[in-house]
């Protein structure tokens, strides 16, 4: 027996019955329930999230920021009592010298006219030599300032990354070595690259390698030879003041040699200015004395145990001379070390200690041969 599915049927809902049920429910609700269905009000003490002006997690591991120190105030140059006294002393010495020369010429003319004329010629030659000496000193000081300005300009241009300033500094560097005989090969190489399209920074690096690579190698050799001479003289000198005087003489001569090696001019007063700049460079870099790491290196390799007391003093004085030479290179070099490595005391320390140890071995062999 099969049953057929029936079709869905619709039925009607009485709207009146539904409305009556809703009214009955509202009537049963109490007044308190009706009052509870009011509009929500804002709550003052509700929890809310406020965005901080500064991200705490971004600055959690950063060091505490401190205000930068104010720039040092430059002292105004005043013409004080010392300047007045020195100026007055110079005037007095000049007048006394003039009166003495005048009296000398008068006495010579009284003796014989030929003697007076010879005295006048000698005074004229002395005046010309003095003028030439002053002009040479002024030229040397101006040349040193020009090199220092070129180095500062190059450092600033490389730090800023300005292509025009870098190209200008490179041109000044090439002009500085235009007449230097030891840079002829480098200048020829740069002349071949004149028409090439090269970035300003890369061109400066090429110019530094072409012009200064050979000069830097020779400067290292000059400094190393001076350090060896100081080491030997300190080891064999009988008195402390002898080796002290030689160390000072060798350091001053080394500074002059390095300045002339890089195309500078060092006169008498120019050398004094160079020495002041080198000492200032040593003080700024904080290496006017030997560092603990260098002393530990010497002691760790057993150099102090193998060398005698005098040779050990020679090594220390030689290393100090090497440090002065490295500072002189940093001051007299017309460009900073950018594409080429700067010389280091550690490299020269190893060479100097090997040289001193070899000297110690030769001395020991000579003593044994003499004893036998």
Domain ranges of the chain: 215-366
Q: Give the C-alpha separation, 235 to 237, whole Å.
A: 6
pLDDT tens figures, 34-84? 555 556 565 555 556 565 555 555 555 555 555 556 665 655 555 578 888
Given this model, what pLDDT does residue 123 score? 92
| Residue owning tokens 């997690």 | 57
Q: How many CB atoms lie within 10 A of CB 223?
A: 23
pLDDT tens figures, 300-333? 445 544 555 666 677 788 888 888 999 999 889 9
Q: Give the C-alpha separation, 338 to 207, whole Å.
A: 11
Cβ contact 165:153 at 8 Å: yes
Question: Does 224 have pLDDT greater than 70?
Answer: yes
Tell me if the pTM is above 0.75.
no
| Confidence label for 364 from pLDDT (cuts 50, 70 and 90) | low
Q: Give Cα separations from 91 to 87, 94, 97, 103 (angstroms).
A: 6, 5, 10, 18
Dihedral angle computed from the Cα positions of residues 282, 285, 287 and 291, in that order, rounded to the nearest 10 degrees: -170
Retrieve residue 215's tokens. 């000069």
Given this model, what pLDDT does residue 103 score? 92
114 SS3 class = helix
Q: Give the C-alpha separation, 167 to 156, whole Å.
A: 12
Given this model, what pLDDT does residue 93 score? 93
pLDDT tens figures, 165-215? 999 999 999 999 988 888 888 889 888 888 788 888 889 999 999 999 999
Q: Give Cα separations from 302 to 45, 224, 312, 316, 344 (angstroms).
A: 76, 22, 12, 15, 21
Question: Does 355 have pLDDT greater than 70?
Answer: yes
Residue 224's contacts (CB-CB under 8 Å, 6 or more residues apart) are: 322, 348, 351, 352
Q: Give the C-alpha separation, 223 to 243, whole Å.
A: 18
| Confidence label for 342 from pLDDT (cuts 50, 70 and 90) | confident
């Amino acid at each position: 027996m099969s049953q057929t599915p029936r079709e869905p049927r619709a039925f009607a809902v009485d709207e009146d019955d539904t409305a009556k049920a809703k009214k009955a429910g509202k009537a049963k609700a109490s007044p308190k329930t009706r009052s509870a269905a009011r509009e929500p009000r804002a709550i003052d003490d509700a929890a809310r999230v406020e965005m901080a002006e500064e991200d705490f997690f971004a600055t959690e591991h950063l060091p505490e920021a401190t205000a930068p120190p104010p720039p040092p105030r430059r002292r105004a140059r005043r013409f004080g009592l010392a300047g007045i006294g020195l100026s007055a002393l110079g005037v007095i010495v000049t007048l006394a010298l003039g009166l003495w020369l005048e009296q000398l010429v008068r006495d010579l003319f009284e003796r014989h006219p030929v003697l007076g004329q010879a005295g006048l010629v000698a005074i004229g030659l002395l005046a010309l030599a003095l003028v030439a000496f002053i002009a040479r000193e002024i030229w040397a000081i101006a040349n040193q300032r020009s090199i220092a300005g070129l180095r500062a300009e190059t450092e600033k241009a490389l730090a800023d990354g300005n292509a025009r300033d870098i190209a200008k500094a490179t041109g000044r560097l090439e002009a500085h070595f235009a007449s230097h005989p030891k840079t002829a090969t480098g200048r020829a190489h740069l002349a071949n690259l004149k028409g090439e399209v090269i970035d300003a920074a890369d061109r400066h690096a090429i110019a530094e390698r072409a012009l200064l690579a050979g000069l830097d190698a020779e400067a290292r050799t000059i400094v190393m030879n001076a350090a060896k001479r100081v080491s030997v003289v300190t080891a064999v000198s009988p008195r402390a003041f002898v080796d002290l005087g030689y160390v000072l003489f060798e350091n001053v001569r080394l500074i002059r040699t390095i300045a002339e090696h890089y195309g500078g001019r060092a006169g008498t007063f120019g050398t004094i200015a160079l020495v002041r700049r080198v000492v200032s460079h040593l003080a700024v870099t904080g290496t006017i004395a030997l560092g603990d790491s260098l002393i530990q290196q010497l002691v760790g390799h057993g150099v102090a145990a193998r060398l005698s007391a005098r040779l050990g003093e020679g090594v220390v004085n030689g290393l100090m001379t090497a440090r002065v030479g490295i500072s002189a290179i940093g001051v007299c070099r017309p460009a900073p070390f950018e594409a080429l490595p700067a010389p280091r005391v550690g490299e020269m320390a190893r060479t100097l200690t090997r040289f001193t140890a070899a000297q110690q071995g030769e001395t020991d062999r000579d003593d044994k041969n003499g004893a036998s």
